[in-house]
Structure 1
Amino acid sequence: MNNSNQNQSERWIEVRPAMSIQGVGVRTTNEAEAGPQGKIPQLWDRYFQSGLQARLSDKDQAIYALYTDYESDASGSYTLIIGNRIDEDVAVSASSEELQQASVPASRYLVFRTRRGPLMEIVPEVWHEIWSYFQQSAEKRTYTGDYERFDTRQFDPAHTVVDVYIAIE
């Protein structure tokens, strides 16, 4: 019996409107993140130390990890911004020299929903699945902005589910 799709995430296509994300950011590559010098764990620390999660909007109780400003494709540099969805006209400016803001264009997304599990395990797992999926898929990524959405209601990092939105043509 084949159990290989036991770890496969649930997938569907969704059309999402444009939105803006404001938070802490870093420029990195997947290659850099694969090694011990990865910047993403420290970026998560910076997000939680920033107090930004206290400013989540009432209508969207979620934290976003936005992958944007792609140099090329999955092998090039990109900017990762961990933050909150904001209304275009309500950008938080208080001591925001450290905050970055990015717009996510309206797009079609292929959404990957992880299995329930520890955050530090399921997120890398789903990204490996995404990279593998697009190597053999007819669908093409646009690299206009992809994001992970973490619902903060009853959020437990040891036992959670994450939706990853990948912009497609």
Structure 2
Amino acid sequence: MNSVGVIPAQWDLFIREGALEPFPSRKSDTILAVYTEYETDETGSYTFGIGTEIAPTDPLPAGMTSYCVAEGTYVVFTTRKGPVSEIVVEAWAYIWEWSKTHKRAFLTDFEVYDERCIDPANSQVDIYISVLE
């Protein structure tokens, strides 16, 4: 997770292409970054996607995929306020440390970018981590 990794490149593409424009019926302006289909844990392969919540009946444009957030127990980590590119990396570093003593489920994890992220220089993000009960 750094400025030249796959995830930052996906965010750049998402922003450049205005990927939410095809969804006029989206439920809100909240953006979700989803981590799912884990092969093993955070060191194995997984699927990463960026999008928004839509009704299950909304058609998807060609080339897009839908993901469902798995039912389960989640721990929510809320970042401090600051530049989004710093606070999310900082929070994940904390989560990886936290994971050494807590049992993650590796079902679906997701980040919530809501109205608190209007100013990228002063944002706050919630990160939901699936855990074993």
Give the TM-score of the pair, scaled to structure 2: 0.87
* Aligned residue among 36, 42, 45 for 1:68: 36
Alpha-carbon deviation of 1:59? 3.8
- Whichever structure has more strand as a proportion of its residues is 1
Give the aligned residue type for 1:46. Answer: L
Task: State the partner residue of 1:164.
Answer: 127
Give the conservation status (yes or no) of the 8 Å contact 1:141–1:168. yes
Gaps spanning 5+ residues in structure 2: where? none
Q: For the structure 1 residues 108 and 66, does the alpha-carbon distance in structure 2 shift closer, same or farther, using more than 3 Å as the test?
A: same
- Whether 1:83 aligns to 2:48 is no
SS in 1 for 2:28: coil
Aligned to 2:80: 115
Are residue 136 (structure 1) and residue 101 (structure 2) matched?
A: yes
SS at match of 1:165: strand
Q: Distance in 1 between matches of 2:27 and 2:10?
A: 25
Does the 8 A contact of 1:52 with 1:84 survive in 2? no
CA contact (8 A) 1:114 1:162 kept: yes
User: Quick one: distance in 1 between partners of 2:71 and 2:28?
Assistant: 17
User: Which structure's CA Rg is the greater one?
Assistant: 1
Deviation at 1:129? 0.4
Q: Would the aligned equivalents of 2:116 and 2:123 in 1 still touch at CA under 8 Å?
A: no
Q: Where in structure 1 are there 5+ consecutive unaligned residues? A: 1-32
AA of the residue aligned to 1:150: Y
Calculate the aligned-residue CA RMSD, in Å.
2.0
Structure 2 CA distance for partners of 1:72 and 1:151, relative to 1, 3 Å: same
CA distance in 2 between counterparts of 1:125 and 1:101 reads 28
Partner of 2:58, secondary structure, is coil
Q: Deviations over 1:91-143 (max 9, x none)?
A: 322xx22x222111222110000000001100010001001111023xx2111
Q: Output the CA distance in 2 between the equivalents of 1:66 and 1:51.
A: 18
Q: Structure 1 residue aligned with 2:111, among 143, 148, 153?
A: 148
Aligned amino acid, residue 134 of structure 1: S
After TM superposition, the score normalised by the length of structure 1 is 0.70
What fraction of aligned residue pairs are identical, expressed as a percent?
38
Where 1:167 maps in the other structure, the secondary structure is strand
Task: Tell me if structure 2 keeps the 8 A contact 1:56–1:84.
Answer: no
SS at match of 2:66: strand
CA distance, structure 2, for counterparts of residue 160 and residue 153 of structure 1:
6
